[in-house]
Amino acid sequence: MSPTPPARRRRLGLPRRVFSQVLLMQLAIAAGVAVLATGLFLAPLSHQLDDQAMRRALAIARTVAQDPEIARDVQNTAPTADGPVQRAAERIRLATRAEYIVVMDWRGVRWSHTDPRRIGRPVSTDPTEALAGREVMGIDKGTLARSARGKVPLYGADHRIVGAVSVGIAYDSVRARLLHAIPGLLAYAGGALAVGALAAWLISRRVQRQTRDLAFSDIAALLAEREAMLHGIREGVVALDRTGRVRLLNDEARRLLGIGDEAVGRSLDEALGAGRTTDVLAGRVTGTDLLTVRGQRVLVANRMPTGDGGAVATLRDRTELEQLGRELDSTRGLIDALRAQDHEHANRMHTLLGLLELEMYDDAVEFVGEVVGDHRATSEQVTEKIQDPLLAALLVGKATVAAERGVALWVSDRTRLPDRLVDPGGLVTVVGNLVDNALDAVAATPHARVEVELRAEGRTAVLRVCDTGPGVPADQRELIFTEGWSTKRPPAHGKRGIGLSLVRRLAERQGGSVSVDEADGGGARFTVVLPEALAEPGPEPEPAPAAAAEGAAGSAAGKESR
């Protein structure tokens, strides 16, 4: 026998098209349901017909037993084929179309029967229950084949049991009724199957259109590829349905947004809370490459609507790129400052060389002292008022950059900040961003000045940065803290509008606030309040007696030497 060709094997198996597979499966389901429903209907129908036949037999037996003449004739006559009991029983049997009516006395001897030869003989079934006064019905097999039977006691005039009446309806007649009903049931089942086949064809056509007539294997492969792509790419993907609820999140979106699977099925407001990120993903803020801040991450979001009324949003992490861009801006600023400082240093060296060539040595010494004293005074002024080394170093560096840009950076006389900061890095970010914005605001303005005030009020740190720039209009004092908003030209590496947003985010994370108003002499004044920013002051160690005495002696010796 030659092997079956591949084409024939494919024809014998299930078709590959989804339309054909769905149609065949639904036809099989409809046929199975029709057969099952028919079987489930026929089974109780058979029991119902048997029950009706038994109750009918019981009703005929009750009618016969209620005839007083039959009870009297059983007591007063002999069981004969032409006796009154036989004639009455046969009359009732013919009228009710019963299979048989047997009247018996209290001994179980027949007084009537369809076969006259059996009259006067004992019955073939046990009449004990009927003679004991109980009614009995059931399906039995007696001398006249299978029948539905009903037995009732026969009472005399004095209400004593004188016999019993047994009525049977041929079981074959019940079967015939059942078989007669089967064609009609099959017709109903066939009609239901035809309707199911039509519905299956319509559903299969709809599935064919929605699946673009792909095979199940192709759909499974597409789903596997989609899962691999969604969880393999390094961009966050958020799918939303038409009501704005989260339908899908890939691994990168969970990481960038800081949420898990509990967000699926919930609205963006419930999953993320109110904020710009929620507005961007929900489409309330439109545009391309929209900047937003989520936690400590700077994200770029894009949103694309889908055909079913939903949308797919993508997120890219620009945190590192933004940091690199800011570092590049700082580096460029430092390069410009160093270039300007190089020119200034060259001018000072030329001045010093000229004084030396002119043999004006005293003037040269005084000139060098003034230059060195200015830098030393700035450093000492900052470190005396700000004891945290990170903040002090930041402000000293910013003062140098400000001086080269022609801006006077002053540390307010009210500044007093002990070295007890809980999060020095966060405050460095806040101060750095506000000072940079202030330096940009006062650039190219006459008498440019920036003043920084940092003071501690208990455990609360208060920061104020004032400048002499153009200030912030009253209607924009809330907008400037929105991600992506800026009045400055974007730099080469990307977009602005992140610094002030980060300042507010850092302040709110510590339970604080940031605001802007007009400075006393014009310009802008930013105020940041950070509760619980400083640790509780520890107890100051008491000096040992020996050390105190030694210190006093040293002090006295110093006075004598002076």
Predicted confidence band at 16 (pLDDT cuts at 50, 70, 90)?
low
* CATH superfamily ID and name for 233-317: PAS domain (3.30.450.20)
Predicted confidence band at 277 (pLDDT cuts at 50, 70, 90)?
confident
pLDDT at 558: 39
Q: Which residues neighbour 265 within 8 Å (Cβ) at sequence distance 6 or greater? A: 245, 246, 247
Residue 1 has pLDDT above 70, yes or no: no
pLDDT at 18: 59
The edge-to-edge listing of strands for the beta sheet with 246-249 is 246-249, 236-240, 311-317, 297-305, 290-294
Helix (H, G, I), strand (E, B) or coil at 555: helix
Same CATH fold assignment for domains 233-317 and 322-530 = no
pLDDT tens track for 28-67: 777 777 677 666 666 676 677 778 888 888 999 998 998 8
Closest CA to 236 of 270, 275, 277: 277
Higher pLDDT, 83 or 141: 83
Range from 75-89, 101-115, 181-195, 469-483 carrying the lowest mean pLDDT:
181-195
125 secondary structure, DSSP code: S
Write the DSSP assignment of 517-549 as a string of letters.
EE-TTSSEEEEEEETT-BPPPPPPPPPPHHHHH
- Please, are residues 64 and 103 in contact by the beta-carbon 8 Å criterion? yes
Cα separation values, 254 from 235, 237, 332, Å: 11, 9, 36
Residue ranges of domains in the chain: 12-213, 233-317, 322-530
Q: How big is the chain by its Cα radius of gyration, in Å?
A: 53
pLDDT tens track for 148-166: 889 999 998 888 899 999 9
6-10, 24-28, 255-259: which is most confident? 255-259
Structurally, what CATH architecture does the domain formed by 322-530 represent? 2-Layer Sandwich (3.30)
pLDDT tens track for 374-423: 555 466 778 888 888 888 888 877 887 787 778 888 888 899 988 888 87
Higher pLDDT, 318 or 324: 318
Residue 185 has pLDDT above 70, yes or no: no
Phi, psi values for residue 427, rounded to 5°? -70, -30
CATH of domain 12-213: 3.30.450.20
pLDDT tens track for 194-232: 777 777 777 767 776 666 666 566 666 666 666 666 666
pLDDT at 467: 92
Model pTM above 0.85: no
